[in-house]
Structure 1
């Protein structure tokens, strides 16, 4: 095959926590895939059990357990009539035959979905079609799936189309010329030297070798951002609880503000400070890694995606509002707390005075 169209994503087959070793993971995933009638040629190749981390499941922000090196490959046939069923928003005429290749890397898995017979409208939507089809088929397996499920870290598909084609002229160095075309949707075009690569599949393998770490680290950055969003949501929830306390009417509201709002306000502020500290630290670490990565990489075309993900902080506005909420409501709480203190002191003084008078008299 001289030309290829493919999309990139981050898809991972998860198994129950009891399958927390390489052999069990491989056995369950292979059986689940081979139980799907339209899947064939399942190939799993891992270098050794030491590369399979024994970690517990920790929610949707992690793939656990998962290999940290190796490869999973299979072919799948998805009839065109099913494309709209699993992906209603898919447009264009896509192929029915796909090769799904997942490379496991130290940061996150990277999945390449390749059209075996490239269609004129081939694009990254293929990743979504394959993803949703596999999810549906695994769900249909029921108990035969043995708890296997297909997890996904977005964006999957990666926000770019990829096309590989032979070059009309020689290409020096690695034999690949990789450029981003100016289109309405980002398109990465990879031309390869036909004197160096006998087929497009060989050139594709070289492209994967040169870029898989970059894709893997991009999805690691996405995971970090998702964690920040989750932490920001926790801060926002504390702010909502604080507002609710201050809206409580009457003597009950006055009492809960005087006795509970202070602790909640401090907790909110500490959460926000912790968030800002972690984000600043992550930014420094990620920027340094990306800088080092591109010092030793000849492929620079993906760098804008990695750098944009570093600075993408959708939660900063919510975080700022939450902190301002605590600062705005704190003076009111202090006034009411001081008033409560005055009342308690006055009541206690009156009680002691009455008690002393009774003892004297």
Structure 2
């Protein structure tokens, strides 16, 4: 039976360009700017009930982190028309690659733990639905750039966007139960997995009706997935900063010449102490976020005891980084040991030298 409906998943949502802008104007500015794009139509926005932000500490230099207020609650919906000639130059989606759809429905769900976008190609002839996220993302970014100072928003994305799976919906009765009248079978691969979602026509009158139920069923899990990814990115910064710090200290330790030796002897102890404290802070933060991720997954499980994204959530929730941090701590320990030995030798030498000097002075004094 032919595939008659598809969708793709990612995390993309509007961000106000002006960091000082009143967040009460967020929905108004989003709608106003989207309305300036000729290819965008039928805009509907349910304003968010509030905003949240992550405590990034010193991580603000990382461009892939969310450094602004994140809308919570509400929804954004609009249609976007992307002509085939434009699709041809956007990698990931094109008519020549077997896709013949030019119109897409974009739904950005803000109602759960993190913004999650569902991109629906409006029509048949879709070979690789995940590419819809790419073509919509790139086209919207280009159009917003064209608006220049007229645009109050820019597009924020969080990878993986697209989510690494192809979602196809067809009539049938194959796979594990996902929701009443809907089953899912998955072909897992190292690249993009294929999810075939089978619906019972006696329960759902059309593939489109089934798709609505499927998105409602999976929405909270995808939102949780991206919230956990955001946590991971933030702590990846902390680990990367420590890595750079340790590498710089190793280079500093190996410096040649008397000036480097004196500076190293005077400053290295404090540097190593500061690195050790930072490693402990990051390790503590990772453990706290790991527990927070576990609670997020449990909340998702409260909604549906069998999670469709069980494997993906578990992989992202385990932040990792423990081995790297342990290695850095060991390196710092070696440097501290060597520095301590150097300090001890220097102290012994100084004491001996002082003894010689004092002895010489006493001898000279007694001879007078």
TM range (shorter): 0.7 to 0.9
The CA distance in 2 between the partners of 1:173 and 1:252, in whole Å, is 71
Q: Which residue of 2 aligns with 1:35?
A: 36
Q: Which residue of 1 aligns with 2:140?
A: 134
Name which of 197, 200, 211 aligns with 1:190: 197
Deviations 1:9-32 (A, max 9, x none): 00011002233423x111211122
The CA distance in 2 between the partners of 1:159 and 1:172, in whole Å, is 19
The CA distance in 1 between the partners of 2:179 and 2:337, in whole Å, is 67
Residue 102 (structure 1) shift: 0.4
Summarize the alignment of residues 176-187 of structure 1 with structure 2, pairs less than 5 Å apart: 176-182=182-188, 185-187=192-194
Matched, 1:283 2:269: no
Matched, 1:92 2:93: no
The CA distance in 1 between the partners of 2:288 and 2:173, in whole Å, is 47
- What is the TM-score normalised by the length of structure 2? 0.85
Q: Which residue of 2 aligns with 1:26?
A: 27
The CA distance in 1 between the partners of 2:6 and 2:261, in whole Å, is 65
Matched, 1:222 2:220: no
Name which of 156, 164, 167 aligns with 1:159: 164
Change (3 A) 1:179 1:294: farther
SS at match of 2:72: coil
Change (3 A) 1:304 1:88: closer
> Is contact 2:8-2:119 (8 Å) kept?
yes
The CA distance in 1 between the partners of 2:255 and 2:285, in whole Å, is 34
Consecutive unaligned residues of structure 2, counting only runs of 5 or more, are: none
Q: Which residue of 2 aligns with 1:53?
A: 51
Name which of 344, 348, 367 aligns with 1:342: 348
Residue 246 (structure 1) shift: 1.1
SS at match of 1:67: strand
SS at match of 1:10: strand
Change (3 A) 1:344 1:188: same
Greater Cα offset, 241-250 or 292-301: 292-301
SS at match of 1:19: coil
Change (3 A) 1:45 1:188: same
Residue 155 (structure 1) shift: 0.3
The CA distance in 2 between the partners of 1:352 and 1:107, in whole Å, is 72
> Is contact 1:57-1:64 (8 Å) kept?
no
Change (3 A) 1:107 1:347: farther
> Is contact 1:180-1:189 (8 Å) kept?
yes
The CA distance in 1 between the partners of 2:93 and 2:209, in whole Å, is 33
Matched, 1:103 2:109: yes
Summarize the alignment of residues 272-311 of structure 1 with structure 2, pairs less than 5 Å apart: 272-297=279-304, 300-311=307-318
